[in-house]
Structure 1
């Protein structure tokens, strides 16, 4: 079929809003639903752990290991540039995995994305540095980082759909909260392991081999993730699409042709979440240690504290979006971020740990309020036959604009105009997201098809 019956009846091209239609309601047992929630949470936690391990290493040691001939600033920029490569790869991953997710199913694609992401991460831990392999070392680092991005590009959409398309009507936001908590837990675990290694190893040992340990742990985590994900079933929503033989032949092309508005505005809505996260974590970790002179362990510990605020904001907003609406909470989070961008660096520049914790925690709480409802909001913008491709691409396109360039732009702005300019940059990203979400409709009453 060329036409999507789930999208042809509304002006926005998304699922119809008949609240009495129970076609997407789940008839599964509570035990089965719990298993789905756990699988979506564990999978995203592992994959985001893999992604953030690289970001933390880029802020702390990769410039020395792979770019030793550059100045400290240029070495940091080079490390952040390899970090940004994954964001460019993520939309590619969303298109590749989204195609098969909309063609053959959510479950099998999630297994493949987990394998690609986990093995790419583990191999970074085995990669010799510049002193051993010369120019091949940074080149292979870029390749592995690219593969990381491809894997993560397929992860989020599938995990969100796994939760949302299994969820009963009226509880999608709560179920989507589980995969949305993955980044909080993944970042906390990645930062915690670096903090532990930095505490027990001297600086020479940490820089020579200690930083590799978090990467190598990915071998174990992938095995755990596969065990959990192989035990879940396909989503009932996609099973009905397959039974009716309504799977799209070219879901990405269909999204670009029929849903450009939802795609671009949804991506714009994600910009502030990415911008806040990667400014408050990756960039601020480098800024605090290299520019302000805050001890590395102190900054890692403060980042872990801030991550608790991210989890709280995510859970609070995601669970309340079932009653209050996704759009309203995303707008509230974006509005708070406009203000917080202006106080983030004045608090950071005090160099006082308590105020730095407030600065980072407030930024990540704002991010969580935006990010939490997006687990249900983006999937609800698209019909069932193209939902994986549409939601994934919007999510990851927002990452290119908000996450890939944030540490790079922030480093340049701070060097040229001071830290205050970085705060204005964060606020500007929040305004962009605010305007984009204002142009989108509310979706919580929509049928998933």
Structure 2
């Protein structure tokens, strides 16, 4: 960014942002080819290590590039003048003027950018394979097609941010995600596994339990479950947990509701019901409901799936294409690297990186396959509000300031 000419900083840095999506595409390609080259048993036993071994080559290339990098002209001039920071950590985080910029960048930009990036790529992959039960071959091909179609948009929105500003484009990407994630993922269900959508409408499944004390309580339980998984704590499973896990493992969406009188746990499927948790009784009750074990490939609307995934990728491009230029312009040169590192890595590594785990926990605890989307929707909405109120446009800011 500091090497880019004035007026082209968004365009130049967007090429760097493009590499993350291309890296995801290449990883899918390597895994796809590896799985095709061997049996499922071999891949499970040792083949999964092959992609990691291939990545060693990329590590060597990245180290070589890093060793060849030179300081930017802006920083080199400041260094020659003796104006570099003597205590960058203190100046970045202990002085309110700079710390405020860090918080604005985190909550007004990178947190929303992180969840939109992960939802549009990684969570979409998880949703197709785990929730909609689409086989990995078709999922990889559909995701790969959307990635290739959407990748040029990263360059486009980087270029556009040089003309109309970074803030508006990133804010629009987050706002569109907030408004459309639910209908987009409903559309993916109809396009990739219509039999599942039909079964959910025709024969809804309800789990009546004495452990249900409202939506807020379930949300807190889901958050606690995600936290336990992150730190590796063990969990003692109740009968409701066993029933909930059974339904999730069999790909059965359900609604969690209060217990009926006299029964602490009851499963209802259409007109039939089962008290307590009994795996065989659950299987017998669910069999006539028509919930598919996997997506019917003959009914998958591939063009519609790619179209919806492309829309998700366009949101990724809107928030991610301009973000590097925005962060560089937000902070003063003497503490720029230190200051921008924290919001970028917290926003992407924590808010975004934990998204699949948190969203999956919400889905497991609620039984609603779309409930996990409220996590990225909530974080993106927060970034929209913070950005509107506190974050200023940076497009015309000089890096020498």
- Aligned partner of 2:223 in structure 1 is none
2:391 corresponds to which residue? 440
User: Structure 2 matches for 1:279-294, cutoff 5 A?
Assistant: 279-294=119-134
1:428 has 2:378 as partner = yes
* 1:401 CA drift (Å): 4.5
Give distance in 2, aligned partners of 1:170 and 1:279: 31
TM-score calculated relative to the size of structure 1: 0.60
Asked if the contact 2:120–2:316 (Cα under 8 Å) also holds between the matched residues in 1, the reply is no
Which of the numbers 15, 22, 27 marks the counterpart of 1:190? 27
Structure 1 equivalent of residue 292 of structure 2: none
Against the structure 1 CA distance between its residues 401 and 433, is the aligned structure 2 distance closer, same or farther, given a 3 Å change threshold?
A: farther
Corresponding residue for residue 393 of structure 1 = 342
Q: 200-209 vs 236-245, which deviates more?
A: 200-209
Instruction: Give me the whole-angstrom Cα distance separating, in 1, the residues matched to 2:349 and 2:61.
Output: 29
Task: State which of 345, 358, 364 in structure 2 corresponds to 1:409.
Answer: 358
Instruction: Note the 1:55-204 alignment, pairs <5 A.
Output: 164-204=1-41
1:419 match: secondary structure: coil
Q: Does 1:381 align with 2:305?
A: no
Question: Which of the two has higher C-alpha Rg?
Answer: 2
Structure 1 residues 302 and 203: alpha-carbon distance in aligned structure 2, compared to 1, 3 A threshold? same
> Are residue 325 (structure 1) and residue 165 (structure 2) matched?
yes
**CA apart distance, 1:167:** 1.0
String of CA shifts for 1:119-171, please: whole Å, max 9, x gaps. xxxxxxxxxxxxxxxxxxxxxxxxxxxxxxxxxxxxxxxxxxxxx11111111
| Structure 1 residue aligned with 2:64 | 227
Kept in 1, the 8 Å contact 2:116–2:174? The answer is no
Q: Secondary structure in 2 aligned to 1:349?
A: helix
Residue 135 of structure 2 corresponds to: 295
Partner of 2:189: 349
Q: Map 1:204-353; keep pairs closer than 5 Å.
A: 204-256=41-93, 257=95, 258-268=97-107, 269-350=109-190, 351=192, 352=300, 353=302
For 2:4 and 2:119, how far apart are their aligned partners in 1?
Answer: 33
Equivalent residue, structure 2, for 1:18 = none
Contact 1:340 1:427 in 2 (8 A): no
What CA deviation, in whole Å up to 9, does each residue of 1:81-102 have, x standing for no partner?
Answer: xxxxxxxxxxxxxxxxxxxxxx
Hey, what's the Cα distance between the residues in 1 that align with 2:382 and 2:330?
19
In the alignment, the residues of structure 1 paired with residue 157 and residue 399 of structure 2 have an alpha-carbon distance, to the nearest angstrom, of 21
Higher relative contact order (Cα pairs below 8 Å, separated by 6+ residues): 2
CA contact (8 A) 1:314 1:369 kept: yes
Matched, 1:364 2:313: yes
Q: Deviations over 1:339-393 (max 9, x none)?
A: 2312232022222343333333222210210111111001111000000011111
Higher helix fraction: Structure 1 or Structure 2? 1
Question: Structure 1, unaligned stretches of length 5 or more?
Answer: 1-163
8 Å contact from structure 1 (residues 331, 437) kept in 2: yes
1:77 corresponds in structure 2 to none
Larger fraction in strand = 2
Distance in 1 (alpha carbons) for counterparts of 2:25 and 2:101 = 32
Q: Distance in 2 between matches of 1:349 and 1:403?
A: 23
